[in-house]
Every structure is written in C-alpha cells, then in structure tokens.
Amino acid sequence: MVSIAGSKKLKRQMAPTFWGIARKNARFVVTVRPGGHPKNASIPSAVLIRDTLKLVNTLREAKSVIYRGKVKVDGIIRRSLHHGIGLMDVVELEGMPEVYRLVPKDSMVLQPIKINESEKGKKLVRVTKKTTMSSSKTQIGFHDGRTLISDVKVNVGDTCILQIPEQKITDVIKLEKGAQVIVTRGINAGKVGKVVEIKEGTFVLPRRVLVNLGERQIEIPVDIVMTIGKDKPAIQVE
C-alpha cells in the first residue's frame, strides 16, 4: 500500500502562534496535511480540539473523538487528525451545544468564536478566481479551496454567502465603496471597517483598498480583506 507523502508531525517551535500550543511540553505536534487552506493559515483538527478549544486533554482523546466521527467541519464529518481548519470554517462536535467559527481576531490569523445554532449553516467564502468554461458557464474558486460551477455574477474579491453543507450560493457581497470588510492577516487582523476607495493595481503595486478603521484609515492589498456585509456584517464574525 502506498503511503501519503509528507511528514505527519511538526516541531512545536515552528508551529504558528495562533494554534495556542505549549512550546516546551514535547518536541513534536500534529501538523496539517495539504488541503483547501494554506498550511500557515489553518489548524489541524486534533490541535484545534485539544489545544485551541481545550475540549480534550490528550492526543489519545482527540483521536477517539475524531475517528468516531464526532467532529464536523462545514457540516461534513472529518475523520483525519491532520485536516486543516481555516478562515470562516464552522466546527461542531456531536453532543456539545457550542458551535464555533474560525475568524481573524486580535491580530491573530485564526481564533475560534462561539456562534448561534442558527448560523451554523452559513459560511462566507471569498472569490479568488473564476474561469469561463466551454459551456459558457463560470467555475468559481474560493479561498477555502472549493470550486463551484454557477451562473451567479461575481468578481474576484467579492464574497459569497454559502449554504453548507449543500454548497449553494445564497447571496453575494460585492467589494465596493461602502462595503463592510474584515482584515484577515497582518497586525490589523480581525479589525472591521468600511471601504472608502478601491485603487487599481499598477505594474509594481497590487490592487489596494482604503479602509476606515474607527478613527484611522489604512491602505492595504485587496487580497487580505474580506467583505462581510453592506451596512453591517451578514453573519457573526466577532
């Protein structure tokens, strides 16, 4: 039987800070296997429930929970310790009332927040690419690795509200002046503001957006913001 390439473990000293692990308890920790989210912007399911959420105490307990199909990500059971859970993913555990969504918060790339039961079927996904197919339909690619073939009119940078696990687009939040956005990376990660202006890219500069964050304005690349609503956030992100 052919083994899957890549290491199953990572030195704790090299792990991202937002994982919330203790650095000196042991030498190694479970790592993320290739998937929809980038390795440096996701948390392995075993680490999430043991170290980030602290729902179990040991890796043995985490294995038992995950292998028995008790963990759902975006409404789908995930049985891998290495499954990467990333931006806007919805996590629920069988037998527990709490539902979590992973969002940028307090300058951290990812932090879990508790959300209402009524919101667990909604997810925000940022459009990262789109391709016109031979059938004149459009294939849309999202930030979490999933793709959909749809007739919905969207542009790269827009955000879709997705019904999960059915993967049905219910609404589109355009990246435009006046839209509410959340910063997804950098020292302002987790800050929510309003778009003042969108500046087109040049040969040396990427496409940028001018955002009002309270009493100050910042200019940042479009690819590190996500639209979350028009006048207010469409779903809970704080």
Domains of the chain and any CATH numbers: 9-117 (3.10.290.10), 122-173 (2.40.50.740), 180-229 (2.30.30)
Own/partner long-range contacts of 176-179 (Cβ < 8 Å, ≥24 apart): 178/230, 179/227, 179/229, 179/230
Statement: residue 55 has pLDDT above 50: yes
The secondary structure element, H or E, covering residue 41 is none
Average pLDDT, the chain: 90
pLDDT band at 6; cut points 50, 70, 90 = low
For the beta carbon of residue 111, count every other beta carbon within 10 angstroms: 19
What number is the average pLDDT over the span 184-208? 90
Q: Are 160 and 215 in contact (CB under 8 A)?
A: no
Query: How many angstroms separate the CA atoms of 81 and 56, rounded?
Result: 13
pLDDT band at 202; cut points 50, 70, 90 = confident
What number is the average pLDDT over the span 132-159? 89
Per-residue burial over 128-167, b if 16 or more Cβ lie within 10 Å, else e, is eebeeeeeeebebbbbbeeebebeeebeebbbbbbebeeb
Statement: residue 231 has pLDDT above 50: yes
In tens, the pLDDT along 57-72 reads 999 999 999 999 999 9
Query: How many angstroms separate the CA atoms of 170 and 15, rounded?
Result: 36
What number is the average pLDDT over the span 27-40? 88
pLDDT at 3: 54
Q: CA dist 125 to 5, 10, 37, 171, 220, Å?
A: 29, 28, 12, 11, 20
pLDDT at 65: 95
Residue with tokens 């037998």: 95
In tens, the pLDDT along 186-197 reads 899 999 999 999
Single pTM value for the model: 0.90
Backbone CA torsion sign across 5, 9, 13, 19: positive
C-alpha neighbours within 13 Å on the C-beta side of residue 162: 26
* Three-point CA angle 203, 206, 207, nearest 5°: 115
- Please classify residue 26 by burial: count the beta carbons closer than 10 Å to its beta carbon, then call 0-12 exposed, 13-18 middle and 19+ buried: exposed
pLDDT at 5: 56
Statement: residue 25 has pLDDT above 60: yes
Query: How many angstroms separate the CA atoms of 73 and 87, rounded?
Result: 12
Among the ranges given (69-73, 140-144, 212-216), the one the predictor scored with the smallest mean pLDDT? 212-216
In tens, the pLDDT along 162-179 reads 999 999 999 999 999 999
In tens, the pLDDT along 97-131 reads 999 999 999 889 999 999 999 999 999 999 999 99
- Please classify residue 19 by burial: count the beta carbons closer than 10 Å to its beta carbon, then call 0-12 exposed, 13-18 middle and 19+ buried: buried
Here the tokens at position 136 are 């004149």
Statement: residue 7 has pLDDT above 80: no
